Amino acid sequence: MRMLWKNIKGLVGAYDTPPLYLNGREMRSLPVLEQAWLAIEDGVIVDFGSMDVFPGIVDWSGLDVLDCEGKYVLPAWCDSHTHLVFAARRSGEFLSRLEGKSYQEIAADGGGILNSARALQSMSEADLLADARIRMMQAMRTGTGSFEIKSGYGLTLEAELKMLRVIRALKQESSISIKSTFLACHAVPDGDWTAESWTAHMVEEALPRVAEEGLADYVDAFCEKGYFGLAETQSLLDAASSLGIKSKVHVNQFNVFGGVKLCVNSNAVSVDHLEELNPEDISALQQAAESGHPTFATALPGCSYFLGIPYTPVHDLMVAGVPVALATDFNPGSAPSSNMSRVVQLAILKMKMHPLEAIAAATINGAAAMECSDRSGVIARGRAANVILTRPLNGLEDLAYDFGDEPVEKVFIDGIAL
């Protein structure tokens, strides 16, 4: 199948030789080729260029020509932080919040992550997979073309493995890039467990099995007061690293106590949340960025929006040269939306990111924050045609200016419209 898209108002993130990522100061220079064309063959991007030097069509046989007048073409969104395998919605907790309880109070009363774990433990692997598949397809229809997916709602060894097997099944049945994260330390389960004993259990019993069965690309911990401290986070990251597994870590959602530095020193691929940041955290991330081996700073504005907590100070990070990524954090408690366009819109509106910075964070840097830059995040020759076609826009600022409208008109995965 051959397609020629012509008169594209702006072809965004298209490179002859794509970089792996853009550091904080480079993000605004994400390329936009104005008045462009794009050629796709058998699901692969074969060429692109400016309409000024359009070579013309030689072979019309089986060619679909699409006029993209007024529309932008973007790489499919890269969602580098999701919890899309879960058993049940938590809209009842949301109602409790509206009635005055805080997210932390709900968790302390046995709701929150423990609530999700109880539901997940009693749900079959097949049912979890069926639901996750539907959620993933729904996210793809809004433009997402690669995902990171976490465990962490199991809170027993068996249920964590069950979640990881569901993620593995999603990987196996899909052509897009999916990364799996073993969120070993998400919350301390009910019973006699402490943060320390649960971490030891995960490190000694779960991690070797996860590694042996190749069930995870990364490990993760919720490094936060009332959840897991520096000692537990360090011991998980060290154990994983000795098995060749890198980390992506939930840190600084509510409190700052040295977690960012710990993760940077342990060569974490990303630190995620960062609603709270102090100058030492930023300088640790800056040093890593300057060394050429950055730890990505992943902001999750959907979580800030939904919980009413601060937004990650992305400008401080970008000025320091830190590469920033944007992700949904899609989960039933703190961020029940999988829509990356909404995340990009919030990043522009609430974190004052320039549209090109927000798009870079949601594409090329998102891909790098889950180490799939070779397949996702840019438009380049030889890559799968996983792209977004927008509705007609006056400029990319309309992604946020028209805040009530869906900017994505069509999504193509392997050149096929979803």
Min separation Cβ 60 and ligand NIG, Å: 51
**Residues 374, 14, 287, CA angle at the centre, nearest 5°?**
60
To ligand NIG, the closest distance from the beta carbon of 334 in angstroms equals 4
**In terms of DSSP bridges, do strands 324-326 and 144-150 run parallel, antiparallel, or are they unpaired?**
unpaired
333 binds, among Fe ion, ligand NIG, none (CB under 5 to 8 A by kind): ligand NIG
DSSP output for 156-178: SHHHHHHHHHHHHHHHHH-SSEE
Q: Say how far apart CA 170 and CA 175 lie, in whole Å.
A: 10
- Residue 334 interacting entry, from ligand NIG, Fe ion, none, C-beta within 5 to 8 Å by type: ligand NIG
Closest distance to ligand NIG from the beta carbon of 329 (Å): 5
State the nearest-atom distance from the C-beta of 220 to Fe ion, in Å: 8
Q: Residues binding Fe ion: what is the number (CB under 5 A)?
A: 1
- Judged by beta carbon, residue 37 or residue 228, the one nearer Fe ion is 228
Instruction: Kindly state the smallest distance separating residue 152's Cβ from ligand NIG, in Å.
Output: 7
From ligand NIG, Fe ion, none, interface partner of 253 (C-beta below 5 to 8 A by class): ligand NIG
For residues 13-52, which are near Fe ion according to CB under 5 A? none
112, interface contact from ligand NIG, Fe ion, none, CB < 5-8 Å by kind: ligand NIG
- Whole-number Cα distances in Å, 416 to 172, 271, 379, 411: 19, 34, 16, 8
Measured distance CA(350)–CA(391) in Å, rounded:
23
Task: For residue 65, list its beta bridge partners.
Answer: 4
Supply the minimum distance, in Å, between the C-beta of residue 343 and ligand NIG. 13
User: Shortest gap between Cβ of 143 and ligand NIG (angstroms)?
Assistant: 21
Binding site for ligand NIG (CB under 6 A): 112-113, 116, 222, 250, 253, 303, 329, 331, 333-334
**92 vs 105: CA distance, rounded Å:** 14
Q: Is residue 152 within 8 Å of 216, Cβ to Cβ?
A: no
Comparing CB distances to Fe ion, the nearer of 217 and 329 is 329
Q: List, in order, residues 6 or more apart from 16 with CB less than 8 Å away.
A: 380, 381
* Rounded-to-integer distance, Cα 180 and Cα 215, Å: 7
* CB 112, min distance to ligand NIG, A: 5
Dist CA 410 CA 142 (whole Å): 8
Beta strands 408-413 and 416-417: pairing type? antiparallel
**Which one of 329, 346, 351, 413 is in contact with Fe ion (CB under 5 A)?**
329
Stretch that binds Fe ion, among 20-28, 70-78, 241-249, 322-330 (CB under 5 A): 322-330
| Interface segment toward Fe ion; rule CB under 5 A; list 14-22, 140-148, 186-194, 321-329 | 321-329
Q: From the CB of 103, what's the least distance to ligand NIG, in Å?
A: 7
Whose Cβ is closer to ligand NIG: residue 187's or residue 362's?
187
Nearer to ligand NIG, 199 or 331 (CB): 331
Find residue 44's DSSP bridge partners.
Answer: 41, 384
Q: Tell the residue number behind the tokens 């749900």, with chain if given.
A: 123
Beta-carbon contacts of residue 236 (< 8 Å; ≥ 6 apart) = 184, 185, 199, 202, 203, 207, 219, 221, 228, 247
Question: Which range touches Fe ion (CB under 5 A), out of 51-59, 159-167, 326-334, 377-385?
Answer: 326-334
- Of Fe ion, ligand NIG, none, which one sits near residue 222, judging by CB under 5 to 8 A according to partner kind? ligand NIG
- From the list Fe ion, ligand NIG, none, pick the one residue 113 interacts with, judged by a Cβ distance below 5 to 8 Å according to partner type: ligand NIG
Torsion angles phi and psi, residue 47, rounded to 5: -165, 160
Of 394, 379, 344, residue with least CA distance to 5: 379
> Smaller CB distance to ligand NIG: residue 327 or 408?
327
Q: Is residue 357 involved in binding Fe ion (CB under 5 A)?
A: no
Residue closest to ligand NIG (Cβ): 333
Residues that bind Fe ion (CB under 5 A): 329
